[in-house]
Amino acid sequence: MRLYDGGRAPNPRRTRIFLAEKGIAVELVPVDIAKLEHRAGALAQKNPLMRLPVLELDDGTIITESVAICRYFEAIKPEPPLFGTGALGQARAEMWNRRLELGLYLPVSTAFRHTHPAMAGMEVPQIREWGEANRGKALEFLELFDRHLAGNRFAAGEDFSIADITGLVAIDFLKPAKIALPDDLANVRRWHEAVAARPSAAA
């Protein structure tokens, strides 16, 4: 089994943090995104969308999409549970992971991809106005998330989950996207300090 990895890019990092939380060791195959190695040769054939990460099982089966890869590992190693426990816990983890993906992770990524000069060759067409508009969308969601965290230790409640991993990676990507985290979001800052201090965050 091997995981084709893209370094500090958000989706590969999200998968590595998940694996670290699970205590699962997988062979990592480094892929240089800057050199577009994920868009050429055998790797492009493994994932026709030409994105990372890509998990290749021992029998050659390919799994792509970071959350799908995480769900695979959740199924083969349920403990510690990172997609929630019980019907309600699983629904909350799914709900907040989805909210953070659509409300924060995606706008931050869009702002970066549509405004950073280095992304001009990958994001075609690169539309600066759309990138700028998504900065505001990210900030709007952060205010909602701050209100939610006033009564919750983690994104989906009292337990760390995939939603926190998605949120952590999104917050850490604010800087490359040139989005400043507002000083008055005390609950977001408290939560981020806690999740960023977990050993897995360095994965």
Tell me: do 23 and 116 sit in the same domain.
no
81 domain residue, yes or no? no
Tell me: do 115 and 176 sit in the same domain.
yes
Tell me: do 39 and 101 sit in the same domain.
no
**How many domains does the chain divide into?**
2
| Stated pTM of the model | 0.96
Over the stretch 142-167, which tens digit does the pLDDT of each residue have?
A: 999 999 999 999 999 999 999 999 99
pLDDT tens for each residue of the chain, 203 residues long:
999 999 889 999 999 999 999 999 999 999 998 888 898 888 999 999 999 999 999 999 999 999 999 999 999 999 999 999 999 999 999 999 999 999 999 999 999 999 999 898 888 999 999 999 999 999 999 999 999 999 999 999 999 999 999 999 999 999 999 999 999 999 999 999 999 999 999 99
What is the DSSP secondary-structure string of 59-125? TS-EEESHHHHHHHHHHH--SS-SS-SHHHHHHHHHHHHHHHIIIIIHHHHHHHHHH-GGGTTTSSS
Contact 73, 14 (CB under 8 A): no
Tell me: do 120 and 186 sit in the same domain.
yes
> Which CATH number do you get for residue 196?
1.20.1050.10
Query: Which domain, by its residues, includes 32?
Result: 2-76
